[in-house]
A and B are shown apart, each in its own frame.
Chain A
């Protein structure tokens, strides 16, 4: 099989690490969100516990964990409890499919009296061939969480919120799915790693038998699909139920939407799920439109040769290269996470009919137009010489 214990163990560990990273990132993001909102609104925000209020995270976690675990009267026991658990799963799994850095290659070595390797471990949870289709498929499972929570709570606010949220999610999934058709067409693949590799170097348009290079800009998908980027990014806001699309939990009308009845640790799990969706969105945006883990203006080979000037062993070179790319990825990723928070505290909420109109009557036609336009350009750019 060529698949041995070491590889399985490392792959498993990788998954657990990514899961833990995501879970641990949430309190930090909560803190960022609170401090950020305070900054934007000219307030102070949490500043009592620890330096800059950083230990507020721990205090919050303790509070969440020690809350009373109760079941409302009209709730459906099983669904009520299962919903927050399932909130985590699709987000985490989808995020695992996004590449975070160049693969780490480990040369053959001796251990326990036998030879192992050589190995190549991709810097992602797992490398599935049809990355984007898989991510879309898994993240579309998130609708069940909401429906289960909404219906299982036995509260009309919850049910209304759940229906609204799921209707909103599926509506924007159309625009989301359609806005990346152009990107898929340009790269000719579903594989996220291949997409990233196609964005190496400086921006180079090749069409009509000519090549136009713009060295000042990196070869990012953004410059090929600006409209696609706008549509995709806007749709991800709705997918993640974030402002300005958080109609499902509009406090004024629906108390807190589908998690009205939840508290304590279960509530936290919903939080994690929501942030996981934001992370997927940011990861995909970075992957499609901003060169993923690539360092701008440099190809992975250039980075690797630079690392080789100071690192010694091949394993170390591979590892450091990967880490540099990981950092590059996180810088871009962090910017978009901050963008999400920034938008939340800047834009007002839509009305529900406006929200649906925007999804069906504005974004979907524009995404269609983007698809047709891209197809025409691709066709003529390749046929007319």
Chain B
């Protein structure tokens, strides 16, 4: 099997890379450009006064950071999840279970700290 996957990944890379390059070149000539109102950024109602650098809430990137950290913790659970039953059968279930429990407690502590510190509040 692996080879099927490998081939596919190769194709995927080709699509992802080559297609972008081709399209970028096509975009160079194919797209219509202009200066009229038609080509202005879409605006609803009165034309906007402010420049393009709209202020964006730092919440978004804070969410992204917390996502990374929790995502990794979840990824750490995957190898545990697929081996947990094997560990139980080999008699090490308790040790590994407790190890994961400690990890989960850290996780839960972190999550509830974030909730309590209002890092996840949106308004």
- A residues sitting closer than 8 Å to B (CB atoms) are 1, 3, 8, 11-12, 15, 68-74, 77-78, 80-82, 85-86, 89, 93, 96, 125-129, 133, 153-157, 159-160, 163-164, 166-167, 170-171, 173-174, 177-178, 181-182, 184-185, 188-190, 255, 260-261, 352-353, 356-357, 360-361, 364-365, 368, 371-372, 375, 378-379, 382-383
Contact = CB atoms under 8 A, between A and B. Distances in A.
A379 B93 contact: yes
B12 A382 contact: no
6 nearest interchain CB pairs? Answer: A353-B122, A81-B27, A184-B81, A155-B41, A71-B31, A185-B81
A157 B84 contact: no
The majority secondary structure among interface residues of chain B is: helix
- Of residues B28, B35, B71, B101, which shows the largest number of chain A Cβ atoms within 10 Å of its Cβ? B71
B27 A127 contact: no
Given A72-B40, A159-B54, A382-B85, A85 B120 contact: no
B102 interface: no
Interface string B66-82: 01001100110110011
16 contacts: A1-B3, A15-B11, A70-B33, A71-B31, A72-B40, A89-B12, A89-B15, A126-B7, A133-B78, A155-B41, A167-B59, A170-B67, A182-B81, A364-B111, A375-B97, A383-B93
A93 to B, nearest CB: 5
Interface of B: 1-5, 7-8, 11-12, 15-16, 19-20, 23-24, 26-28, 30-35, 38-42, 44, 48, 52, 54, 56, 59-60, 63-64, 67, 70-71, 74-75, 77-78, 81-86, 88-89, 93-94, 97, 100-101, 104, 107-108, 111, 114-115, 120-123
A356 B120 contact: yes
Nearest to B30: A69
Given A74-B52, A181-B77, A126 B120 contact: no
Contacts of A72: 39-42
Contact of B4 (A127, A153, A188, A368): A127
A163 B48 CA distance: 20
Nearest to B36: A73
B42 A255 contact: yes
A382 B93 contact: yes
A72 B36 CA distance: 10
- Of residues A155, A164, A166, A167, which shows the largest number of chain B Cβ atoms within 10 Å of its Cβ? A167
A188 B85 contact: yes
Contacts of A185: 81-82, 84-85
B71 A154 contact: no
B64 A382 contact: no
A185 B12 CA distance: 30
A157 B115 CA distance: 29
B121 A81 contact: no
Nearest to A143: B64
A371 B115 contact: no
Contacts of A77: 24, 27-28, 31
B82 A190 contact: yes
Contacts of A128: 1, 5, 8
Given A127-B4, A184-B78, A185-B84, A154 B52 contact: yes
